[in-house]
Amino acid sequence: MERLRKLGIEAIRRVALGSTVLGTGGGGDPYVGRLLAEKAVREHGEVALLDPSEVPADACVFLCGMMGAPAVIVEKLPSGNEAVAAMEALARVLGRRVTHISSLEAGGINSMIPIAAAARTGLPLIDADGMGRAFPELQMLLPTLEGIRATPMSLVDEKGNTLVIDAVSNQAAEGFARVATVQMGASATMAFYPMKGSQVATALVPHSISTAHRIGEALLLARQKRLDPIAEMARQLDGREIFRGKIVDVLRRTTAGFVRGEAVVTGLEQWSGQELSLDFQNEFLVARSAAGVLVSTPDLICVADSEAGEPITTEALRYGQRVSVLAGPCYWRWRTPEGLAVVGPQAFGYQHSYVPLQS
């Protein structure tokens, strides 16, 4: 497949759809982010997409995106200028000029904010991200495994309030930034994990934007050809459908800058008579049935409309939806002991051990 080199309007729509699949229910509303990215590209032109191998060793790379509760981001829309302001604030603190931008995660609005920022600044976007999916906390990025500090980091809200944080660890940075984000109305835009171009090859998940584009394109094609979108989604994830049914209960609450909760799905078709529960903290973390845990973080758990194949975010879950639950393997480094210490079940307070999903 020919590599993606430019991000225009049509490419953005495909990346937005594919990133919603990879985002495992989190990352913020993809529609809002898509509108921001499309507006920026219409006004400033297409975004250049660089392969990680093409980033110069002396480049100054910033990751950017939004932090907070996805349900709040839908209610309190960003203008699109916040990411540029956050990068400018971080550049002033470091005394360096940012040369390249990268996504913090491959999910929802956070796959779109960097595209909009790249269009507005004219800077190239790296075809990579910090997770290969979406996770809820800012220390849960691949740079943490590489010993790269999340701070100094900057946070900007929609009113223009700007805060710079310098913490002793990435875990501490999450704590301080979360409190600040709550004070900013439960959503803020940030620039963080400043790194050198020489660190990109090992500190980021490569080709995640191209992967999202491929997934989005495949799903759109499946719809056009009236193929089974769920089967196509499972194929693209190198995973499988683990449950199909109707949502009969959703418990959702916004606390400490997160959307936390549980959804219960009663089975249909071959799963008739069974029940599945889904735990989430912004993203889907655990899927369990009466038999026990079926899939858990860091592997991907995705929920989609069974007929249309449209991925559903955690804030969009509603009673009565007929859904398919799919699972796919995560990026390989999250399955290492070092990776599991940061994003495995115990990192979220669960007691069960991680069992790798077999595709």
Return the H-helix or E-strand segment holding 339.
helix 337-343
- Which band of pLDDT confidence, cut at 50, 70 and 90, is reported for residue 359? low
Percent of the chain with pLDDT over 70: 96
Structural domains in the chain plus CATH codes: 6-208 (3.40.1610.10), 232-348 (2.40.390.10)
Contact of 351 with 289, CB cutoff 8 Å: no
Contact of 330 with 268, CB cutoff 8 Å: no
**Strand 153-156 relative to strand 162-165: parallel, antiparallel, unpaired?**
antiparallel
Provide the pLDDT for residue 108.
84
pLDDT of 118 above 80: yes
* Mean pLDDT score of the chain: 94
Residue with tokens 């190198």: 238
Tell me how many degrees the CA angle 303-306-310 measures, rounded to the nearest 5. Answer: 60
Q: Mind giving me the DSSP string for 90-124?
A: HHHHHT----EEEES-SSGGGGTHHHHHHHHHT--
Closest listed residue to residue 309, CA positions, set 220, 242, 239, 243: 220
Q: Mind giving me the DSSP string for 12-47?
A: HHHHHHHHHHHTTT-SS-HHHHHHHHHHHHHHH-PE
Q: Mind giving me the DSSP string for 50-73?
A: E-GGGS-TT-EEEEEEEEE-HHHH
Read off the tokens for 299. Answer: 């592997």
Contact of 94 with 194, CB cutoff 8 Å: yes
Provide the pLDDT for residue 358.
76
Provide the pLDDT for residue 257.
67
The stretch 167-180 carries a mean pLDDT of 96
Beta-carbon contacts of 116 under 8 Å, excluding residues fewer than 6 positions away, are 33, 36, 37, 39, 40, 41, 80, 83
Which tens digit of pLDDT belongs to each residue from 36-50?
A: 999 999 999 999 999
Read off the tokens for 230. Answer: 């769920």
Helix, strand, coil shares, percent, the chain, to 5: 40, 30, 35
| Pairwise CA distance, residues 175 & 94, whole Å | 22
pLDDT of 299 above 80: yes
Provide the pLDDT for residue 254.
76
Coil vs helix vs strand at 25: coil
- Which band of pLDDT confidence, cut at 50, 70 and 90, is reported for residue 74? low
pLDDT of 187 above 60: yes
Which tens digit of pLDDT belongs to each residue from 138-151?
A: 999 999 999 999 99
DSSP annotation of 148: -
pLDDT of 315 above 90: no
pLDDT of 30 above 90: no
The stretch 282-299 carries a mean pLDDT of 96
pLDDT of 1 above 60: no
Provide the pLDDT for residue 80.
79
Provide the pLDDT for residue 32.
85
Which tens digit of pLDDT belongs to each residue from 206-263?
A: 999 999 999 999 999 999 999 999 999 999 999 999 999 999 999 988 776 677 899 9
